[in-house]
Structure 1
Amino acid sequence: MSIRFRCFCLGLLTALGCLPGLAWAHVGQGDISGGFMAGFLHPLEGPDHIIAMVAVGLWGAQLGRPAIWVLPVTFPVVMAFGGALGGAGIALPGIEIGIAMSGIVLGAMVALALRLPLGLAGGIVAVFAICHGHAHGVELPQSANPITYAAGFVIATGLLHLAGILFGTLHHWRRGAQALRTVGAMIAAGGGYFLYAALQG
C-alpha cells in the first residue's frame, strides 16, 4: 500500500471524523441526535444502498489514481444534492429503479474490471448518487434536523466507500483481482434482484 494511498485514507477518515462536530454545531434546529443517527443508519439499513456504495469504492480502487478518490468524493457530494431534492419534496421518476440499476451497473463495472474515462465514470456515479440521495431525503424524519440528517448519511456513505477502497486494493494481486471481480458479479446479481423487486412493486 503506497504512502499516498495511506495518506488519502487517513485524510478521508479525518474529514469524516470532523463532520459530526459540524453537525452538532447546529443545535436548536430540530432533533439533533435523532436526525444524525437516522441519517447515518439509513444507508446501512438498505442492502441496495450498501452494495452500490461499496461498489463505488471497489471500482475506484480498480481504476487507480485519480479515480480512487474522485469517485468516492463525487458520490456523496452529488448525493447530498439529491437528498436536498428529496427533502424538499421534489419528485423524480424511477428512483427505486435507478437505485437497483446502480447495483447492476456498478457491480458489472467491477466484475468486468472495465476501465472507462474518468469523466464518464464520474458521470455514471453522479447519476446514481442522485437516486440514492433522493431516497435518503424523502425519508427525512419530520422532527429531524436536515443538516445533521444529511451529515449522517454522508458519513455512512463515506465509510462504505472506504470499505470498498480498502477491499479493492486486493486487485494488485492476481487472486485478489479475481476475488474482486467475483464480488462485483455478486453485487450486479443483487442489483438484479432489487430491480425485479422494484418492478414488481
Structure 2
Amino acid sequence: MQGFKVRFRLIGWAGILLCMSAPAFAHNIYGNDGFLTGLAHPFFGLDHLLTIFAVGLLGMQLGGRARVSVPLAFLGFLLFGAVVGMLNVPMPLVENGIASSVVLFGAALLMGRDLPLSFAQAFVGIFALFHGHAHGTEIPELANPVWYSMGFVAGSVLIMIFAAAVAWYLSMIETEKPLLKGLGGIIASLGVMLWWF
C-alpha cells in the first residue's frame, strides 16, 4: 500500500509538471532577467519539456556510462545550437525537428532496446541542435545571452535530474521496465499531438 501511495504521488508530480507547460508558451517569453528567463524556458514549452525529460529517461534506460554521457551529449549540442540561433544562422525545419524529437525519443524508450553509446549520443545530439536553435533565436532582446544560456542549461539539467530520479525509482519496483516503456509510449503519443499544433 505504501509503495502504491509513493507511485501515485510521483505520477501526480509528473502530471503537475507537464500541466504547467503549454505547447506554444516557450515561444513567447519576454523580459530582461536573463538567467531566470532562460531557466524557465524549458519548463514552459511542452515540446522542450518532454524531449529533455525523455533524454534523462533514455540515459537511465541504457545504463552504464550512458546515464551521464547521453544527457551531456544533448546539453553540448543544445548549447551549440543556441549559439547558432543567437548568430541568426538559419536552420531549416526547426519546429518539425523539435516535434520529431519528442516522438522518436518516446519511441526509443517504448522499444527499450540497447543502443550503442555513440549512436545514442549522436541521436540525441542531432535533435538537440533544433532545440538549441529555438532557444537561441527566442532570447529576449534585453537579456544577457550568457546568463540566458546558463539559465536554460540549468533548467534542462533540473528536468534531466527529475527524469533520472523517476527512472531510478521505477527500477527499484520493477524488473522488466514496463512503466518506463509506458512513459515512452505516452511521450511519443504527445509528440504526435504536437504535430497538429
Q: Which band: TM-score by shorter chain?
A: 0.7 to 0.9
Distance in structure 2 (CA, Å) of the matches to 1:115 and 1:89: 37
Distance in structure 1 (CA, Å) of the matches to 2:196 and 2:88: 26
CA contact (8 A) 2:85 2:136 kept: yes
Report the CA distance between 1:176 and its aligned residue.
7.5
Distance in structure 1 (CA, Å) of the matches to 2:176 and 2:131: 29
Report the CA distance between 1:100 and its aligned residue.
0.5
The normalised TM-score by structure 2 is 0.80
Report the CA distance between 1:135 and its aligned residue.
0.4
Q: Which moved more, 1:64-73 or 1:171-180?
A: 171-180
Q: Output aligned runs, 1:79-94, within 5 Å.
A: 79-94=78-93
The match for 1:195 is 195
Corresponding letter in the other structure for 2:44: E
Q: Output aligned runs, 1:98-117, within 5 Å.
A: 98-117=97-116
The normalised TM-score by structure 1 is 0.79
SS at match of 1:144: coil
Instruction: Return structure 1 stretches of 4+ with deviation > 4 angstroms.
Output: none
Report the CA distance between 1:193 and its aligned residue.
1.0
The match for 1:119 is 118
Corresponding letter in the other structure for 1:86: G
Distance in structure 2 (CA, Å) of the matches to 1:71 and 1:130: 14
| 1:49-88 deviation line (CA, Å, top 9, x unaligned) | 0111010011111110100000111111110110011111
Distance in structure 2 (CA, Å) of the matches to 1:168 and 1:55: 10
| 1:74-114 deviation line (CA, Å, top 9, x unaligned) | 11111011001111111100000000011101001111112
The match for 1:12 is none
Distance in structure 2 (CA, Å) of the matches to 1:187 and 1:172: 22
| 2:76 pairs with 1:77 | yes
Distance in structure 2 (CA, Å) of the matches to 1:102 and 1:171: 24
Identity %: 36
Residue correspondences, number: 166
SS at match of 1:34: coil
Corresponding letter in the other structure for 2:116: P
| 2:48 pairs with 1:67 | no
In structure 1, runs of 5+ residues without a counterpart are: 1-31
The match for 1:29 is none
Distance in structure 2 (CA, Å) of the matches to 1:110 and 1:172: 18
CA contact (8 A) 1:62 1:171 kept: no
Q: Output aligned runs, 1:126-165, within 5 Å.
A: 126-165=125-164
Q: CA, structure 1 residues 176+165, in 2 after alignment: closer, same or farther (shift >3 Å)?
A: farther
| 2:185 pairs with 1:181 | no
Distance in structure 1 (CA, Å) of the matches to 2:173 and 2:68: 21
